[in-house]
Structure 1
Amino acid sequence: MQRMGMVIGVAPGMVEEYKRLHVAVWPEILDLISRCNIRNYTIFLREPENLLFGTWEYHGTDFEADMAKMAADPKNQEWWAFTIPCQKPLESRKEGEWWAMMEEVFHHD
């Protein structure tokens, strides 16, 4: 199991839309997340900075393949058509990232 964390901004004026979308995430998306071996997935919002922090546990054996499966899924592409306009990536993210991945520096069970 691997814990992961990521951060992204929310586009100006899109906080309420992002919240609205995530009150009722489509069942197909929730199923896809599970089929891609992601568990305990949580997104936090920090206002007034409008930063989203996501954290989850990856329980698979091939993260890149699972993420490719997620990206290729037509329902997920439809979901992203609604969520991506709400997001504002950090300028400091690495090339190829949308959400900026974070290094875990402490954990306590």
Structure 2
Amino acid sequence: MDRYCFTLDLKEDKKLIETYKQYHRSVWPEVKDSLKDVGVINLEIYLLENRLFMIMEVDDDFTFEQKRKADLANSKVQEWEKLMWNFQQALPWAKAGEKWVMMDQIFEL
């Protein structure tokens, strides 16, 4: 099993942030199923002010390419991503079109 950590910012608007949190209290079942189908075992998102931190644990067969292809082929995932982008903003150092940016691990105990 591998673990990946990502970060992303939300727009600095308390009302938008609260709405974003509400959506994540009941993530659409099709979105959850799509994650499980590509080998995501566990996924957690944490929030501090407007900064998000996501931990994604995946099985040994998981690949980001496989996930990207599955996401593009799933209309509900595309709909969810489009909706979430109303609340999210790219980090200043993100590449064009990049939302979640993978973080580098610098310490482990």
Note the C-alpha offset of 1:61. 4.2
Match of 2:26 among 10, 15, 24: 24
Counterpart of 2:73 in structure 1 is 72
Counterpart of 1:39 in structure 2 is 41
TM-score (norm 1): 0.86
Q: Deviation string for 1:35-74 (max 9, x for gaps)?
A: 0111210000002xx1000111121243312222123310
Note the C-alpha offset of 1:24. 0.6
Contact between 1:42 and 1:54, CA under 8 Å: does it hold in 2? yes
Contact between 1:36 and 1:67, CA under 8 Å: does it hold in 2? no
Gaps of at least 5 residues in structure 2 are none
Gaps of at least 5 residues in structure 1 are none
Q: Quick one: distance in 2 between partners of 1:100 and 1:61?
A: 18
Contact between 2:17 and 2:87, CA under 8 Å: does it hold in 1? yes
Counterpart of 1:7 in structure 2 is 7
Q: What secondary structure does 1:106 align onto?
A: coil
1:83 aligns with 2:84: yes
TM-score (norm 2): 0.86
Q: Quick one: distance in 1 between partners of 2:35 and 2:5?
A: 15
Counterpart of 2:58 in structure 1 is 58
Note the C-alpha offset of 1:12. 2.5
Counterpart of 1:93 in structure 2 is 94
Contact between 1:10 and 1:87, CA under 8 Å: does it hold in 2? yes
CA RMSD of superposed structures (Å): 1.6
Q: Deviation string for 1:9-34 (max 9, x for gaps)?
A: 10122201110110111111111110
